[in-house]
Amino acid sequence: MAYPGTASTVTPLAPVTHGLKPVPDPDDLLTRPFWAAAAEERLVLQRCSGCAAYHHPPVGVCPDCLSDDLAFEPVDGRGRVYSFVVVRDQRLPAFDSLVPYLVASVALDAAPHVTLATNLPGTGIDEVRIGMPVEVEFEEIAPGVRIPQFHATDEVTR
Ligand SMILES: [Zn+2]
């Protein structure tokens, strides 16, 4: 779609889909290690060898120290809800039956400045709160394709 006064020269990328739901692009060089680990139900983050900063989504060059020496390493899957929205009007038919649903960003305890986008399976839209403790789980969205999702955990066990 072109905005008034602009030329439409950019072709939007079509999402890689399985059925109607989008799935990660297995050929994306930057994110491939993240999704490969998720397929094995492991949570990894990209980390800079120069300054030890975590980055997500992955980057080609560290924005903090400009190093390109970046590698993925396992991280603990516990964190807290940093922010959330309730989706009531969405555009993909595959998600029609889920409306209203939650989309949250979770800050990991191991890397508090990194947030991951997630749904909150098992948490109702009236139950979610900022700071709520959560832990990663993996949802298989297509054969062999898993995405990290976070579910609420008991505050007492943290
Ligand atoms: Zn760095």
The CA 39 to ligand 1 mean position distance, Å, reads 27
The CA 147 to ligand 1 mean position distance, Å, reads 26
pLDDT at 108: 97
Q: pLDDT tens, 115-148?
A: 999 999 999 999 999 999 999 999 998 888 999 9
Q: pLDDT tens, 9-47?
A: 544 555 555 556 788 887 899 999 999 999 999 999 999
Average pLDDT, rounded, for the chain: 88
φ, ψ of residue 95 in degrees (nearest 5): -105, 5
**DSSP string covering 1-58, please?**
-PPTT----PPPPPPPEETTEE---TT-TTTHHHHHHHHTT--EEEEETTT--EESS-
Domain ranges in the chain?
Answer: 17-157
- What is the model's pTM? 0.83
The CA 54 to ligand 1 mean position distance, Å, reads 8
Residue whose pair of structure tokens reads 């059925």 in the numeric block: 19
The CA 52 to ligand 1 mean position distance, Å, reads 6
Structure-block tokens of residue 96: 């029609």
- Which has more confidence, 27 or 155? 27
Q: What is the mean pLDDT of residues 141-156?
A: 89
For the cut 80, the answer to whether the pLDDT of residue 50 exceeds it is yes
Question: Which amino acid is it at 15?
Answer: P
The CA 135 to ligand 1 mean position distance, Å, reads 27
For the cut 90, the answer to whether the pLDDT of residue 4 exceeds it is no
The CA 110 to ligand 1 mean position distance, Å, reads 17
Long-range contacts of 36-40 (CB under 8 A, 24+ apart): 37/72, 37/74, 38/138, 38/146, 38/147, 38/148, 39/144, 39/145, 39/146
Residue whose pair of structure tokens reads 């749904």 in the numeric block: 119
The CA 33 to ligand 1 mean position distance, Å, reads 19
Long-range contacts of 29-37 (CB under 8 A, 24+ apart): 30/57, 30/58, 30/59, 30/60, 31/57, 31/58, 33/58, 33/72, 34/58, 34/72, 35/145, 37/72, 37/74
The CA 64 to ligand 1 mean position distance, Å, reads 5
